[in-house]
Amino acid sequence: MPTLSLINFNVVCATLGSFISVFGLVSYLFKERFYLSEALISLLAGVAFSPHAANFIRPLDYALESEQNLDQITLCFTRLVLGVQLFLAGVQLPKRYLQIEWRSLSLLLGPGMTAMWMCSALVIWALVPNFSFLHALVVGACVTPTDPVLSNSIVKGKFADKNVPPPLQRIIIAESGANDGLGYPFLFFAIYLLQYTGMGGEGFTGGAGKAMGLWFYETWAYTILLSVGYGVTVGWISREMLHWAEEKHYVDRESFLVFAIALALFIVGTCGLIGTDDLLACFVAGNVFTQDDWFRLETMDDSLQPTIDMLLNLAVFMWFGAVCPWSLFLTNNVIPLYRLVFLGILILLVRRVPIVFALHRYIDQIEDLFQTAFVGFFGPIGVGAIFYLSVCREYLQTITVDGQVREDAQRVSEAVEVIVWFLVICSIVVHGLSIPFAKAGYHLPRTISNAISTSTTVEQEPMPPAGIPRTLSTATRDNNDTALRVRKQQDISPRPGASRDRTPPRPFAFQIGRSVIRPKSPESEARGIGAAGGGEPARPVRLAVRDGENGAADSSP
């Protein structure tokens, strides 16, 4: 006998499929008319389907009731999404973009990221009670990179095409792609110092010197430089192989289009195996892969890559809405809610805006103060922050003394979970609603002004003169003008049976040489008077014809 099978797999497939289908029916309306980002809509859907509401998506069941397993699932999911997104971001950039625009990128990735890290850490240090500056540096490092997934909402679509110049779009894509992979040095600088100097270095020997040695060797040499070299190598080899296969006609169109996504998955897996920075390797490989602009131009009109991109975005933000620790915002031992709200506001205002205003004169793509404010404000915190949150918490669990996580590491682990999740939610909501509110704020005053002026005109309309129907006095200005034109036309038009009087045409004057011929009016012609109105008869015009041989002039009347 058939029975219901309410297992998690069936429920998740039905829920995810129904949401994507329904959203697809109205996606153009939401994204291109209301300018709502798909990240915000997916986040709200994830909350609605989470255990806090409908309970269709049950993350803890998938993680076997283990918080550690849930963190590992979130880490792997964000790695997958970021790897594909960053590779595609590298592919979207024009030919040799990193080499050409190295000056602007170096400013945004060097002084820019450092200032963002310090500003975030200072705000966190000031607002979190009993929190040291070193602990704040760990939390601030997680929210330093800008998110490439959320950045797509402002560099793609109808709004971006109308309001964001292409050079500005490309520099935003390049910065958000590169700084996600460059978040490791900021995070592990603070974590190594916390491990070897926090609480007197309990359980670990070597002090700050050992911490800096690990930072230079493991983070910069192995994690960063190796990932860059690996990305360049894989990108170049893959491009040459695809060129060869295309010239030999060995690859079909479907495999050609999916090649970039498959390459991104390969880099994520292999970098994970050797323990290097897969995010930076994916971005570098994507840029090298399309170094000659061939693959980008060949796939510009195809929709496979944007489709995969959309599916990953919808899925990951639905997952965020379901796994977000909403209850921790109200009840935690780190920071009260009112300070958390104030922290979110300050981070969005001072994390990025001041440094962009300080550097905008040296960034060629930023032309005026409006674009400076736009680039400074739209530095979203999203998938990259959750990725570094998971990496941070995973490493902090290894700082143990006698089999227990050390006290300061445990406190930072709790703080980073609450603060980073709250800042991600704030960024998704604020940046997702900024464009709709900006458009409404631009059009609403004009609409109200037009409505008030129309109402005032109607109230002050004078009484109509005799002979005009009273209904015209209460009509709008356009209707009055139309009615007036109709009445004038009726006055000009002849009545039935009446003769049609025509206004005489304007007289013309003809000039021959130095003489002027003016046409005669009927009255002056009868009296022999010129049309100019003088009392003298019109003088005859004498035409002079010169003999070409002897130069004599023959005059004739």
**Which of 101-115, 124-138, 296-310 comes out lowest in average pLDDT?**
296-310
Kindly tell me if the per-residue pLDDT of 230 is higher than 50: yes
| pLDDT tens digit sequence for 11-60 | 999 999 999 999 999 999 998 888 888 999 999 999 999 999 999 999 99
Q: Is 510 helix (H, G, I), strand (E, B) or coil?
A: strand
Kindly tell me if the per-residue pLDDT of 553 is higher than 70: no
| pLDDT tens digit sequence for 337-355 | 999 999 999 999 999 999 9
Mean pLDDT of 184-207: 93
Residues 6+ apart with CB under 8 A from 251: 242, 245, 259
Kindly tell me if the per-residue pLDDT of 1 is higher than 70: no
| Whole-number Å distance between alpha carbons of 92 and 179 | 16
**Which of 248-252, 417-421, 425-429, 521-525 comes out lowest in average pLDDT?**
521-525
* Structural domain boundaries enclosing 113: 67-447
Report the percentage of the chain scoring pLDDT > 70.
79
Q: Is residue 464 one of the residues assigned to a domain?
A: no
The pLDDT assigned to 212 comes to: 96
Kindly tell me if the per-residue pLDDT of 64 is higher than 50: yes
Tokens found for residue 165: 């110049």
**DSSP characters for 349-368?**
HHSSHHHHHHHGGG-TT--S
Mean pLDDT of 412-441: 91
Tokens found for residue 192: 């190594």
Q: Is residue 554 one of the residues assigned to a domain?
A: no
Which one is predicted more confidently, 117 or 507?
A: 117
Mean pLDDT of the chain: 84
Q: Is residue 481 one of the residues assigned to a domain?
A: no
CATH at residue 158: 1.20.1530.20
- pLDDT tier, 464 (very low <50, low <70, confident <90, very high otherwise): low
The answer to whether residues 215 and 189 touch, using CB atoms and an 8 Å cutoff, is yes
**Which of 77-81, 129-133, 240-244, 530-534 comes out lowest in average pLDDT?**
530-534
Kindly tell me if the per-residue pLDDT of 95 is higher than 80: yes
Kindly tell me if the per-residue pLDDT of 242 is higher than 60: yes
- Could you tell me the sign of the dihedral formed by the alpha carbons of 172, 175, 178, 180, in that order? negative
- Could you tell me the sign of the dihedral formed by the alpha carbons of 302, 305, 308, 310, in that order? negative
Which one is predicted more confidently, 505 or 380?
A: 380
Mean pLDDT of 463-490: 47
Q: Is residue 454 one of the residues assigned to a domain?
A: no
Q: What is the DSSP letter of 470?
A: G
Q: What is the DSSP letter of 110?
A: I
Number of structural domains the chain divides into:
1
Q: Is residue 178 one of the residues assigned to a domain?
A: yes
Tokens found for residue 269: 């897996």
Q: What is the DSSP letter of 185?
A: H
Q: Is residue 101 one of the residues assigned to a domain?
A: yes
Which one is predicted more confidently, 301 or 69?
A: 69
The answer to whether residues 276 and 227 touch, using CB atoms and an 8 Å cutoff, is yes
Let me know if 12 is exposed, middle or buried by CB neighbors in 10 A (0-12, 13-18, 19+). Answer: middle
Q: Is residue 457 one of the residues assigned to a domain?
A: no
- Residue for token digits 């916390």? 194
* Among the listed residues 30, 190, 174, the one whose alpha carbon sits nearest the alpha carbon of residue 90: 174
Let me know if 27 is exposed, middle or buried by CB neighbors in 10 A (0-12, 13-18, 19+). Answer: middle
Kindly tell me if the per-residue pLDDT of 106 is higher than 90: yes
Q: Is residue 487 one of the residues assigned to a domain?
A: no
| pLDDT tens digit sequence for 478-517 | 454 454 454 445 444 444 444 444 444 544 444 444 445 5
The pLDDT assigned to 555 comes to: 41
Max distance between CA atoms of the chain, in angstroms, equals: 132
Angle at which helices 304-323 and 38-49 cross, to 10°: 40
The pLDDT assigned to 303 comes to: 86
The answer to whether residues 107 and 83 touch, using CB atoms and an 8 Å cutoff, is no
| pLDDT tens digit sequence for 293-329 | 999 999 988 888 889 989 999 999 999 999 999 999 9
The pLDDT assigned to 424 comes to: 97
